[in-house]
């Protein structure tokens, strides 16, 4: 089959790497891809958010199946557009991708179907927000309703911090329209865990749990990023908690979306907090997490294309999905300064050495005259598997230490931060 993957980050590299192992995949394309992805797929010069361009390219090139990986094209309805043009696609339709695109929508869904989450109120007037913050006190969480590159959330320790964040999002339009509606939430405590799950509209098959490291610096300090590293599975996610999550969160969410006439097909991302009162949902995403995807897919023992086709066909319950009984660690090597300002274009050395003991997924690189150059904030995701989590972490760091580029930055506590 001729497959097209949409996106250009480490997540898309991992998806391409896994799909390339499928005997059914005869041709693999990625739009727009990156320097490293070009090693496993042919890169296509169409932007991930160019819905019309993507449909045209897929049609003109007789693509059999398109995998839409990032949040923006999903929220824009790329899967709907592809399917309407007769091209089968993996990922939720727009009316289901809304679980990520609108926090207000997902909070309401959880309330209606009694799915555990933080208590909240939704606002469209700044005055009312400030009042509410006064009445609730701190700590308190301020969230922009729409997509804000994972940066639209402030966990405020004081009322002043909360009010400032609300004023910037709503009055200052820091995130544009995404901040016109704000969700103000109770502050939860406990370790955070991600569970990615394959969903076919009706059935759900959770992958091994994972854990992202969102803050930029070691010790969970500094600004939030897209994610500085991931492990799978995190020790906090015990079989008892997994059972509770399945009964109280995963199955009810899939049933709720179906009941609302928004059946979800694709990868549903559960951002969970393991609070003293039990597991609760922080957020849903409508896709694989990045870098969780890199860690989790490196543990998959089955054919990813088969699973994706079953999600679309509604036959996930007939598949036996196998996972390596091992652990994985993805260490992100970033550009100095990320997530704020950083420079690009530095040569990367040591990749071949690192690849002897780990898989190096490229997040922001380009290939020029045979030399890989840095080309983004997150540059590489060095991913290792091993029989135990400690060994996987050690292997990822050992391989990562072979790699260097100017101003390279990484956290030294991936897997030991929580
Ligand atoms: P989100 O974009 O919703 O995943 O939020 C980003 C980060 O903010 C999460 O990973 C949590 O660390 C934190 N966060 C979000 N909501 C809450 C909450 N209600 N209580 C405590 N922390 C939260
Ligand atoms: N790693 C967090 C996310 O992909 O949203």
Domains of the chain by start residue, with CATH: 2-94 (3.40.50.20), 119-186 (3.30.1490.20), 192-318 (3.30.470.20), 327-400 (3.90.600.10)
Q: Over the Cα atoms of the chain, what is R_g? A: 21
**Residue 174: band (very low, low, confident or very high) from pLDDT cuts 50, 70, 90:** confident
Contact between residue 404 and residue 413 where contact means Cβ atoms under 8 Å apart: no
The residue whose CB lies within 8 Å of the most ligand 1 atoms, and thus the one to mutate among 141, 156, 213, is 141
Task: Report the nearest-CA residue for atom 2 of ligand 2.
Answer: 289
CA of 290 to the centre of ligand 2 (A): 5
φ/ψ region of 174 (left if φ > 0, alpha if ψ in -120 to 50, else beta) reads alpha
pLDDT at residue 151 in the model: 63
- Give dist(CA 377, CA 362) in Å, integer: 11
* Distance set, CA 362 to CA 290, 333, 383 (Å): 12, 10, 11
Rounded distance from Cα 51 to ligand 1 centre (Å): 30
Query: What residues pair up with 284 in beta bridges, in sequence order?
Result: 270
Q: pLDDT tens-digit profile of 199-231?
A: 999 999 999 999 999 999 999 999 889 999 999
Angle at CA of residue 15, ends 400 and 235, nearest 5° = 60
- Tokens (6 digits) for 142: 């301020």
pLDDT at residue 173, as a whole number: 72
What's the pTM?
0.95
The answer to whether 44 touches 33, Cβ cutoff 8 Å, is: yes
Take atom 4 of ligand 2 and give the residue whose Cα is closest: 289
- Mean of the pLDDT values across residues 276-301? 98
State which of 212, 272, 282 you would mutate to test the pocket of ligand 1, scoring each by most atoms of that ligand within 8 A of its C-beta: 282
In this predicted model, what pLDDT tens digit does every residue of 123-144 receive, in sequence order? 999 999 999 999 999 999 999 8
Report the distance separating Cα 272 and Cα 249, nearest Å. Answer: 10
Nearest CA, atom 19, ligand 1: 187
pLDDT digits (tens, 9 = 90+) for 151-172: 688 999 999 999 999 999 987 7
pLDDT on residue 104: 87
Average pLDDT over residues 221-242: 96
Ligand nearest to the backbone CA of 150: 1
CA of 369 to the centre of ligand 2 (A): 32
Q: Give me the pLDDT at residue 150, please.
A: 56
Q: What is the pLDDT of residue 12?
A: 98
Q: Would you state the pLDDT for residue 176? A: 73
* Residue 187 Cβ < 6 Å to ligand 1: yes
For 79, residues 6+ apart whose C-beta sits below 8 A from its C-beta are 68, 89, 90, 91, 92, 93, 94, 97, 266
Q: Give the closest residue (by CA) to ligand 2 atom 5.
A: 289
How does residue 179 score in pLDDT terms, banded at 50, 70 and 90? low
- Cα-to-centroid distance, 117 and ligand 2 (Å): 18
Q: Ligand 2, closest atom to CA 150?
A: 5
Separation of CA 80 and ligand 1 centre (Å): 30
Q: Assign 405 to helix, strand or coil.
A: coil
CA of 164 to the centre of ligand 2 (A): 25
Lowest pLDDT segment from 62-76, 133-147, 232-246: 133-147
Residue list, ligand 2 pocket, CB within 6 Å: 150, 212, 227, 285, 289-290, 292
Other beta carbons within 10 Å of 192: 17
Q: What is the pLDDT of residue 220?
A: 95
What pLDDT score does 171 carry? 78
* Confidence class for position 291, pLDDT limits 50, 70, 90: very high
């Amino acid at each position: 089959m001729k497959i097209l993957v949409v996106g250009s980050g480490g997540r898309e590299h991992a998806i391409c790497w896994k799909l390339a192992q499928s005997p059914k995949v005869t041709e693999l394309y990625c739009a727009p891809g990156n320097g490293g992805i070009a090693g496993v797929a042919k890169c296509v010069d169409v932007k991930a958010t160019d819905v019309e361009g993507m449909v045209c390219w897929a049609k003109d090139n007789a693509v059999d199946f398109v995998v839409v990986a990032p949040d923006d094209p999903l929220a824009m309805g790329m899967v709907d557009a592809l399917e309407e043009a007769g091209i089968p696609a993996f990922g939720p339709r727009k009316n289901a991708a809304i679980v990520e695109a609108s926090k207000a929508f997902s909070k309401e869904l959880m309330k209606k179907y009694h799915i555990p989450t933080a208590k909240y109120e939704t606002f469209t007037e700044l005055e009312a927000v400030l009042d509410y913050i006064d009445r609730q006190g701190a700590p308190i969480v301020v969230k922009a309703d729409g997509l804000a590159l994972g940066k639209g959330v402030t966990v405020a320790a004081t009322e002043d911090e909360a009010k400032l964040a609300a004023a910037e999002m709503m009055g200052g339009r820091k995130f544009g329209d995404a901040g016109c509606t704000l969700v103000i939430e109770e502050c939860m405590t406990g370790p955070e865990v991600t569970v990615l799950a394959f969903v076919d509209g009706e059935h759900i098959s959770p992958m091994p749990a994972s854990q992202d490291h969102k803050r930029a610096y070691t010790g969970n300090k500094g600004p939030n990023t897209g994610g500085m590293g991931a492990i799978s599975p995190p020790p906090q996610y015990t079989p008892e908690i997994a059972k509770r999550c399945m009964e109280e969160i995963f199955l009810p969410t899939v049933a709720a979306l179906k009941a609302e006439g928004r059946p979800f097909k694709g990868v549903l991302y559960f951002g969970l907090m393991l609070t003293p009162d039990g597991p609760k949902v922080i957020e849903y995403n409508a896709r694989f997490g990045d870098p969780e995807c890199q860690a989790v897919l490196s543990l998959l023992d089955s054919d990813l294309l088969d699973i994706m086709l079953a999600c679309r066909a509604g036959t996930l319950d007939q598949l036996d999905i196998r996972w390596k009984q091992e652990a994985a660690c993805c260490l992100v090597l970033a550009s100095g300064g990320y997530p704020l300002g950083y420079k690009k274009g530095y040569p990367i050395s040591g990749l071949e050495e690192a690849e002897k003991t780990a898989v190096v997924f490229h997040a922001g690189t380009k290939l020029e005259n045979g030399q890989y150059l840095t080309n983004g904030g997150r540059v590489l995701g060095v991913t290792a598997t091993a029989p135990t989590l400690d060994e996987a972490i050690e292997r990822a760091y050992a391989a990562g230490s072979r790699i260097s580029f100017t101003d390279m930055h990484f956290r030294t506590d991936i897997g030991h931060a929580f």
